[in-house]
């Protein structure tokens, strides 16, 4: 896979700033992406793919506004 020049420059700048090779940054980014997109299947994710509703301490469901 080839990165466009803008993204490649940004990765290189970050690598120099944090003293890590660009490959390590790309590997970390891909691993984090895969963890988000491929759930383990431990039952913690809602079947629809959306997060489970939060419950308040008194038992009601808290919905985002």
| Interatomic CA distance for residues 20 and 28, integer angstroms | 11
> What are 23-40's pLDDT values in tens digits?
999 999 999 988 887 766
Beta bridge partners of 55: 61
- Measured distance between the N- and C-terminal CA atoms of the chain, rounded to whole angstroms: 40
* Residue 7 confidence (pLDDT) above 90: yes
Judge if pTM exceeds 0.75.
no
């Amino acid at each position: 896979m080839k990165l466009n020049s803008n993204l490649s420059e940004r990765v290189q700048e970050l690598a120099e700033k944090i003293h890590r090779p660009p490959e390590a940054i790309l590997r970390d980014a891909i691993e984090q992406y895969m963890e988000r997109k491929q759930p383990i299947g431990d039952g913690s994710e809602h079947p629809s793919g959306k997060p489970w509703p939060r419950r308040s301490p008194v038992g009601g469901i808290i919905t985002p506004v």
